[in-house]
Amino acid sequence: MNISVYTLTSPLHDESSVALATEAFLNSLNFQYTFKGEDFTDYKHSDNTKEQNTCSQPALKLIYVRTGGTENLFKKLYNSGCIGQHPIYLLASDKSNSLAASMEIMSWILQNGLQGEIIHGSTKYISNRVNTLATIEAARHRLAGIKAAIIGKPSDWLISSTMDAKQIRNKLGFEIKEIPIAEVQDEIASISSLSEESKALQDMLNTKVDAEACGIKSAATCGIGDAKTNAAANAVCNIGDAKTNAAANVACNIGDAKTETTASVDTNNNRSNYAPYVNGAVKIYEALKRIVIKHKLNAFTIRCFDLLTALQNTGCVALSKLNSDGVIAGCEGDMPAMLSMIIANCLTGKTGFQANPSKVDIETGEILFAHCTIPFNLVERYELDTHFESGIGVGIRGFMKKGPVTVFKVSGNLQRFFAEEGELIENGSQANLCRTQQLIRFNDKSACKYFLQEPIGNHHIIIPGNWKKQISDLLKR
């Protein structure tokens, strides 16, 4: 991330003295920057993210108000068109009336309906704040380069989950394309052979099916960390390495596995139900991958329940794999959920888990989320099952690492959002819920009231880590 520092200086001050103080102040801060000085000619050049070349390096622009008496200098620069309407960040020191001038300038900025912030305080605070703002500017830049689509229409039950396309275009800089659901069926019908990536996915899933047929509770009891003890367990549990099913026979030899003490026969598992759907689930992945390439997408949501009737299968595996591939892939044609996943990914670089609340406990601040797919790259281990509602297809029961998470959702018109931090305290496997289940305890127990009093639809996005402040900074500007 480039950080450019522009300056405002009163002509009454001695330039050599100011220059020495500037160098000492900027070098005390923990970030790298390009010093632009009083040359504002390129300040506005990349101000509008919609006009940026998405391959270029975005820049956070700081105006260092070095002295007092600079208020009218700023006003003239703005009126001449040198400074655009992007949030204006003023950097202020504790010398030469820098802060006082910054406050007068910021007051003028706000009076004129613009946005901005004075960055002032300890060197630690300034450094942290600038780095946070640099992350937000980088996210804005990435958002402007998004190519998103909805495949099919939103599911019929999503009566409140609408999208304001104009707001998305004006504030985030991208549009959402509409692709008929029939295109998925057409692509599947045209498949004569699988890509190498699809073959690897097929082998990975079939290896797991074979292992479970031997009574190994695949990935449910063999953690990835433990799977390093032998090649057989590794083939079953390690997503990245399980590209062939050659190890399936070895995996079935429970006596050879050092994880034998945790292997057990899962008499309640629906492996006999989901196994016949594996190859079809892989074809859905192949078809969606082709659509992504054809339309040059990096995000989409699909009316996936239509696949149940049209193909007698589900998109759970395909969406899990595509998210792991770096393509943001959402369920049920839920556009605000997809929008939330896009924002989360552009801001954090992480994949999000789309899920719906199943149980809220106001007294403990705990909420149980569930869904039948989760990105493979979010979980430590996983097992296969059928899709919950239909009892067909292949669903994913994933077990994510316990620890800090952020639950996030933005409305389709960007007017409201929810972002709260908490802890993933338990991964569940109740038979009467969607397959992946996460019990999250919010740091602020009162956050649970939102789900009962003012929810933004039902789907929410779960992101590993603490991101509430960054999300708020991005969406409030």
The CA–CA distances, whole Å, from 90 to 98, 106, 130 equal: 10, 8, 11
CATH class name, domain 153-174+286-305+312-475: alpha beta
What the block records as the tokens of 358 is 């199943």
What pLDDT was estimated at residue 318? 93
Residue 460 predicted with pLDDT over 70: yes
Which pLDDT score, from 0 to 100, does residue 46 have?
52
Q: Could you report the per-residue pLDDT of 247-306, keeping only the tens digit for each?
A: 333 333 323 333 322 223 333 444 457 778 888 899 999 999 999 999 999 999 999 878
Segment 327-341, tens digit of pLDDT: 999 999 999 999 999
* Strand 148-151 with 299-302, pairing: parallel
Q: Examine the pLDDT at 223 and tell me if it is beyond 50.
A: no
What would the CATH number be for the domain defined by 2-144?
A: 3.40.50.10940
Give the model's pLDDT for residue 359: 93
Task: Indicate the domain borders of the chain.
Answer: 2-144, 153-174+286-305+312-475
Query: pLDDT per residue over 368-420, tens digit each?
Result: 999 988 999 999 988 888 777 777 778 888 999 999 999 999 999 999 999 99
**Residues of the chain with pLDDT > 70: what percent?**
84
Q: How confident is residue 216, by pLDDT bands cut at 50, 70 and 90?
A: low
Distance of alpha carbon 205 from alpha carbon 239, whole angstroms: 9
Question: Do 321 and 310 contact (CB within 8 A), yes or no?
Answer: no
As a whole number, mean pLDDT of residues 172-187 equals: 93
Chain segment 410-428, per-residue pLDDT in tens:
999 999 999 999 999 999 8
Query: Looking at 14-18, 45-49, 66-70, 361-365, which range is the least confident one?
Result: 45-49
Calpha distance 200→285 (Å, rounded): 12
Residue 434 or 360, more confident: 360
Provide the mean pLDDT of the chain: 83
> How high is the pLDDT of residue 51?
42
The C-alpha atoms of residue 422 and residue 435 are separated, in whole angstroms, by 21
Query: What is the DSSP track for 404-465?
Result: EEEEEEE-TTSS-EEEEEEEEEEEE--TTS-SEEEEEEESSGGGGHHHHHS-SSS-EEEEES
Residue 148 has pLDDT above 80, yes or no: yes
